[in-house]
Structure 1
Amino acid sequence: MGFKFNILPKEGNWRKTALFFTAVIIGLGLFMAQEAKVTSYLSDDPQACVNCHVMTSVYNSWMHSSHREWANCNDCHVPHDNVFNKYYFKAKDGLYHASVFTARAEPDVIKMKEASQEVVQQNCIRCHVQQVTQVKYEGWLEGHNESRTGRQCWSCHKQIPHGKVHGILTTRTNIAPLPTDQEDETVIPLWLEKEINKE
């Protein structure tokens, strides 16, 4: 006496099963995209960079720099030669960052890869082209004229725009910034608001 187990769906039912699993996969993908705030990475909003907590100290140091008023993260860290190249670079760099973050393999000190260094250098020159090319700086600093575009800007300007903070462990209990552009959310914690209102 033998039993037959048929794990395959009956003929005609395979479409329903395939449709069900396709819907589950798409649903999980959309849920993960919403949880990871994927669409925020298409914008130029610096808050998108803080979706990963490892960027908190870098974001906070930028917030206290003079560049905050003139440049956001994408102004410095993505190419600006054309739209395709900008989003291609963002996607490539973002997928690398996401994979490192997901694998919990982020280094204590975050350093730019060679491709990112080239992009940042070109953007420094793009924004500061007058300072780089002006003749009045001749003789101002020995060797400065020859090395204006020959070496990386941050080899001299080390404190700009991120200051001395370069690692995720350098700022103890570093708190991610709260968005201040939303009316329904308050920046002041409830316990503090109660204390303020007591007085």
Structure 2
Amino acid sequence: MTVKIWFKKYGIYGIAVLFILLISVLLSSKIIAKTNTPEYCASCHVMQEEYLSLIKGGLHNSLKCVDCHLPNDSKVNFYFWKTVEGGKELIIFYSGRVSDPIKASTHAKKIIQQNCIRCHEGMVSRITISDRKCWDCHRRISHKHAGLRETI
């Protein structure tokens, strides 16, 4: 299909759609980078306490929220769950259904556990206890200054 025929068929609407797609592609990397930062997560007022506890925390204060709270086994899995969880969090926040204290879902706990093991593989390779989670012993390791709130 030539440009002239395409323009006749789709007209100004087609050009508008192409323009929007082009802008989306150009901005997507910036949007993704911005939404991967702890500061973005903290922009939701219910996460302020967790953010402050992370940046004031010890060993994990150089990590981003997505390092622990999203799967990091593949880019496809990461972006899929970033979209799913991000959409879910927006709905929960704007519908006013944020739980207090904030608790991780079963799926989120599985991801967090996998990420603990991924980062600390050398230290945990000989541990054979499979029915316990890392935070059973290492409570509030990343959000330790978040007061009395549960973080997992």
Alignment TM-score, normalising by the size of structure 2: 0.71
Residue aligning to 1:51:
43
Residue aligning to 1:107:
99
Q: Deviations over 1:59-109 (max 9, x none)?
A: 11111112013x211110111111111011011111111001101111110
How many angstroms does 1:44 deviate by? Answer: 2.4
Gaps of 5+ in 2: 1-12, 14-19, 25-29
Structural RMSD (CA): 2.7
Q: Deviations over 1:141-169 (max 9, x none)?
A: xxxx432x43110011002011152649x
2:56 corresponds to 1:75: no
Name the CA shift for 1:98/1:43 in 2 (closer, same or farther; >3 Å). closer
Distance in 2, Cα, partners of 1:60 & 1:78: 20
Residue aligning to 1:121:
113
Distance in 1, Cα, partners of 2:71 & 2:134: 17
Distance in 1, Cα, partners of 2:69 & 2:34: 14
Aligned length: 124
How many angstroms does 1:43 deviate by? Answer: 4.2
Q: Which has the higher helix share?
A: 2
Name the CA shift for 1:104/1:41 in 2 (closer, same or farther; >3 Å). farther
Q: Percent identity?
A: 33
Which one has a bigger Cα radius of gyration?
1
SS, match of residue 121 in structure 1: helix
| 8 A contact 2:57–2:145 mirrored in 1 | no
1:91 to 53, 66, 83: 83
Alignment TM-score, normalising by the size of structure 1: 0.55
Structure 1 stretches of 4+ with a deviation exceeding 3 A read 40-43
